[in-house]
Structure 1
């Protein structure tokens, strides 16, 4: 028993440590202008600037909680007494912000956390003139679990899991159980065993007849990002418990309804950000720092949710809305039960290990990412665009020729796996396209002449580009053509009729696209045709794509409109039917991330898909990259995708 108690104490201490790192991240986001909070800095000893990805992540968390709290205070504005109970408050500055905004008329804030945490917080409040002067002469130390008592602010040192002690402490601090009350928990309940957190949720529903519960936590534990997220918290001895039994928004909603709450709304943070944050505010936030981690941002947001549950008269005053905004209408995802193909089949992946040595390479000063490398007839490769940082795009074109390398040393390698890379900077005429990255490029043919087609991308100004440019590869001359909707992080594939097929990407609003645009050659040049595909492909970006015969093959990427992660979709360009397939990722012994990766078809006759690279920063949970190439045979996908009939 003593050993168990010691282990539990160690876990509790580790959980308390998450408060310290969290408040530093909040201070960083506030310092960069993501939100206004001049009080947080007084709760940290040393500040540290976080990456733009982490700053955005804490901004959307702050924004969601602030939205719910401010809405609650607004809808209860005509009530003489209302209350906010913060479970596991840590060093949060909620009371101080609301007081400074003049939003606490008739409201009392109760903060509950471990005694060690609240004692530290009380000492910081009393030792800071800025914080102490908020209370004036009303600031006083309490007795027992009451660390600070100051009229509208009560700081209680009680283990949240001990309901009877929590209830006793709240009563002693002046809780009015019948008054409208908001209960707030930000990544707190999930650190305790699920039976305890369920008990707290049920207790709150019974004890507060006129109440709202706001919960911010993690979801989706089983995809690659979710596995890395869970491993991170295991490493810091702060296991996520509820995520296993309640892995998605639907399960969380059922949880609260089953535990006594009358109504419940649950949104992941992509839904909240794109649906409930005004476009003007999103533009302000997105202009604060150079940013190009769209995949990691959307993945982070898809693994956190904001939930509101209500009891009593407050059930008619929703803090959140289901499916806010046009982006979130889910009619784009259609199961294939009415078609002859079945989505449920598992398709195995195989990982392999080999390497190709290259004797020459690009200069280190030419480091770039998010560029295109397009294969030309004859085997050469044209590299265009890319960036070293979001403020430093790479301009110009480079032509690469891979030549077999014969070592002058008879004892040198002779296995054919060594090559020489010849690099040539291309000099072109005409008006060149603006420097860009996250664009797409493909070779197209017009009247027997080959062109490099470049479409879309991102600009150093932050703009999403919508131009289409054509480079005559023989004459090395640029011309500009007409375009569909601006986008970046999309794909463009050469088509056997001489044109190209463009799919997906992110538009100017930061929303994924699911359209299929076919660029066809005609008598005067090229013309666009938007294909109507049924069922509509789920919008995605940062994927890869290949044309095999009449089929467009989509692999991986990031999507917001469906659960799980994108695997493989086949769109027949003749019948205009789409079939989605799931891959059995369990056959690969690491979390297989299919974004920011490359893929190639190694044998068009018996198509085999080769996946290279992939992954990136997983918010504050560490960095993960796929460590080896992976292959997948495609016969079943292509045979099922080729014969779909739109009228079937």
Structure 2
């Protein structure tokens, strides 16, 4: 490539990277304005306050909390040192100096900030025109010619390209940086925008020149799983490639990187581990009450793809800044084979739908949302000779906008639609019985079968004491004294983060009833699975009210007087997960997909043998699927128990601020290798 074109490309990329600062500060202001953290100074760096989505607010909160945790620990460790420094690389419009100054926390520390010359000039102009900010700069002298934009006794702002080592070293020395003093180096999503050779050089340069130093870095990891692929694509579209991901894809690689570049100690946590282990429970509860929130999957996925790292040099900084109180998350015990996944020919996408197999070759899907947040129309998936096809159907009664509801096939035919929501503040009312009648021959063309398809909807008017409204629950058919009941368990609503009640609806009487249930009920949860099993149900996983994924297996069994809860102690214990689907095949519980907070890949299929109380995890071979396959907020149907195959429909999510990704087609999963695998026996 000619030198001129390389320079143009580099300038374009640098401009794009600088643009990430503007977007970031707006998001930080949004989080501060909603009460996630206190910062009265960020607002002076934006034209107006714009409200971001709750998911983005939470994401910037955990970033702020992690960096603030490290800064405060550094200041505490060095409180007896007469001199200390904070060096912020790619500082952008960060308000760290002003916040620490207002809190009286600097205590002899000097803050140095570096960023591109254009960014530094813009920041200096904003500070210079603001009475509040200027009033917090002690003994501020006019900048001389060169990179220094602001110079005061406690704050120095320099316009420099961090990649130019010799220039940075000379400018910092001239600005008064003491190379021997304890120094905190901050890098929040900065080095990854550089070519990896350049960012490695910065890490090594800092280790060489600062013998008493702490390096704090916040960046992305896990580029190869579905969320990571969407994340990378987002930054590529912004012309802001995440270079470091290729060579340093996980926390282990990042730790090794710093140790190889001259740092003596290094700790690295993904943000799920940081949030659970280093943010106190009462603080997490406060944050989680600030706004209505129902994007749990995207929250945990985002946190698993970012990390906070501290690397240190010198005896003064040997104390651990990232010592989590939570224990390690158990990894999956992989089975001997990966299960093949293949896309179908049908075009269908949606999030939060519910499905019901009404015939061996026909699946009804209701509710959910499509692109742009619009409610998804009712669809039917029909398998003909040419493969699966999706056709639209028009119910006789509007089922309203409905996400995260349940669709339960009834023994005598028909499907019960229950629960769901239109927004995190609006449960969707009504209980409906749906009858799907394709009225067409399987050999008929899809167009004829679609025209013949009829969906009859009748509202079920039930007596008795109905349960509170909910979504992300389960509804399964159970049997007692020869009668069938709809058993509704768990979920959440606008007032409760997780529900733990179990409610029975007599299907023949359409009556909510109280039936005695013995034993200790499972903890309150939502986004779990519940499968009909021997007249009762098998419950697995879910998300607790405190936001922790669960990995327990419980069984509700019928008794002479009612039902009884029991626990199945599975070995090895499955990795906790939620937002999955599950099916009973013979005496085995097959759990597919979902979200977990473990860093080792994404959930595939775990098969639990109920009789031996043993489990085996299987990964999914998605090489035949050309798009990132996200298996949460999706539906699953077991097509044929004799030739076990799963049909997975919909799924995906709003990937933090990276846009909405939806699986465009249903896929099938071959279960034969999993169901034929040997299971260990546990006493």
- By the TM > 0.5 criterion, same fold? yes
Unaligned runs of 5+ in 2: 347-387
What is the count of residue pairs matched by the alignment?
A: 634
Task: Indicate how the Cα distance of structure 1 residues 411 and 67 shifts in structure 2: closer, same or farther if over 3 A, else same.
Answer: closer
**RMSD of aligned residue pairs (Cα, Å):** 1.8
Secondary structure class of the residue paired with 2:177: coil
Give runs of aligned pairs for residues 92-241 of structure 1, distance below 5 A: 92-135=94-137, 138=140, 140-241=142-243
1:600 Cα deviation from its structure 2 partner: 0.3
1:404 Cα deviation from its structure 2 partner: 2.9
Secondary structure class of the residue paired with 2:476: strand
Aligned to 2:90: 88
Aligned to 1:456: 490
Indicate if the aligned counterparts of 1:347 and 1:582 stay in contact, CA closer than 8 A. Answer: no
Aligned to 1:347: 340
1:406 Cα deviation from its structure 2 partner: 6.8
1:573 corresponds, among 610, 621, 630, to 610
Q: Distance in 1 between matches of 2:451 and 2:410?
A: 21
Unaligned runs of 5+ in 1: none
1:492 corresponds to 2:530: yes
Secondary structure class of the residue paired with 2:227: helix
Between 81-90 and 31-40, the greater mean CA deviation after superposition: 31-40
TM-score (norm 1): 0.95
1:145 Cα deviation from its structure 2 partner: 0.6
Give runs of aligned pairs for residues 476-555 of structure 1, distance below 5 A: 476-480=510-514, 482=517, 483-495=521-533, 497-555=534-592
1:405 Cα deviation from its structure 2 partner: 4.1
Q: Distance in 1 between matches of 2:446 and 2:13?
A: 57
Task: Indicate how the Cα distance of structure 1 residues 179 and 120 shifts in structure 2: closer, same or farther if over 3 A, else same.
Answer: same
Q: Distance in 1 between matches of 2:619 and 2:310?
A: 32
1:394 corresponds to 2:428: yes
Q: Distance in 1 between matches of 2:85 and 2:446?
A: 78
Secondary structure class of the residue paired with 1:464: coil
Aligned to 1:249: 251
Question: For 1:27-70, what per-residue CA distance to the aligned partner results, in whole angstroms no more than 9, with x for missing partners?
Answer: 11111111111111111123321100001100110010011001
Q: Distance in 1 between matches of 2:396 and 2:82?
A: 71
Aligned to 1:446: 480
Secondary structure class of the residue paired with 2:611: coil
1:474 corresponds to 2:508: yes
Give runs of aligned pairs for residues 325-336 of structure 1, distance below 5 A: 325-326=325-326, 328-330=327-329, 332-333=330-331, 335=333
Q: Distance in 1 between matches of 2:634 and 2:513?
A: 30
Between 393-402 and 241-250, the greater mean CA deviation after superposition: 393-402
Aligned to 2:260: 258
Secondary structure class of the residue paired with 1:504: strand
1:445 Cα deviation from its structure 2 partner: 1.3
1:475 Cα deviation from its structure 2 partner: 1.3
TM-score (norm 2): 0.90
1:302 Cα deviation from its structure 2 partner: 0.5
Q: Which runs of 4+ in 1 moved over 6 A?
A: none
Secondary structure class of the residue paired with 2:124: helix
Between 275-284 and 137-146, the greater mean CA deviation after superposition: 137-146
Q: Distance in 1 between matches of 2:447 and 2:84?
A: 78
Indicate if the aligned counterparts of 1:490 and 1:543 stay in contact, CA closer than 8 A. Answer: yes
1:582 corresponds, among 608, 619, 636, to 619
Q: Distance in 2 between matches of 1:103 and 1:243?
A: 35
1:356 Cα deviation from its structure 2 partner: 4.3
Q: Distance in 1 between matches of 2:132 and 2:218?
A: 29
Aligned to 2:310: 308
1:432 corresponds to 2:466: yes
Indicate if the aligned counterparts of 1:535 and 1:578 stay in contact, CA closer than 8 A. Answer: yes
Indicate if the aligned counterparts of 1:441 and 1:491 stay in contact, CA closer than 8 A. Answer: no
Between 500-509 and 397-406, the greater mean CA deviation after superposition: 397-406
Secondary structure class of the residue paired with 1:594: coil
Aligned to 1:380: 414
1:585 Cα deviation from its structure 2 partner: 1.5
Question: For 1:300-346, what per-residue CA distance to the aligned partner results, in whole angstroms no more than 9, with x for missing partners?
Answer: 1110000001111134211111xx233x423x33535xxxx52x545
Task: Indicate how the Cα distance of structure 1 residues 556 and 362 shifts in structure 2: closer, same or farther if over 3 A, else same.
Answer: farther
1:361 corresponds, among 381, 385, 395, to 395
Indicate if the aligned counterparts of 1:355 and 1:417 stay in contact, CA closer than 8 A. Answer: no
Q: Distance in 2 between matches of 1:403 and 1:348?
A: 30
1:359 Cα deviation from its structure 2 partner: 4.2
Q: Distance in 2 between matches of 1:402 and 1:372?
A: 16
Secondary structure class of the residue paired with 2:641: coil
1:140 Cα deviation from its structure 2 partner: 3.0
Q: Distance in 1 between matches of 2:605 and 2:54?
A: 31
1:351 Cα deviation from its structure 2 partner: 3.1
Indicate if the aligned counterparts of 1:261 and 1:311 stay in contact, CA closer than 8 A. Answer: yes
1:388 Cα deviation from its structure 2 partner: 0.7
Question: For 1:273-296, what per-residue CA distance to the aligned partner results, in whole angstroms no more than 9, with x for missing partners?
Answer: 111111111111111111000001
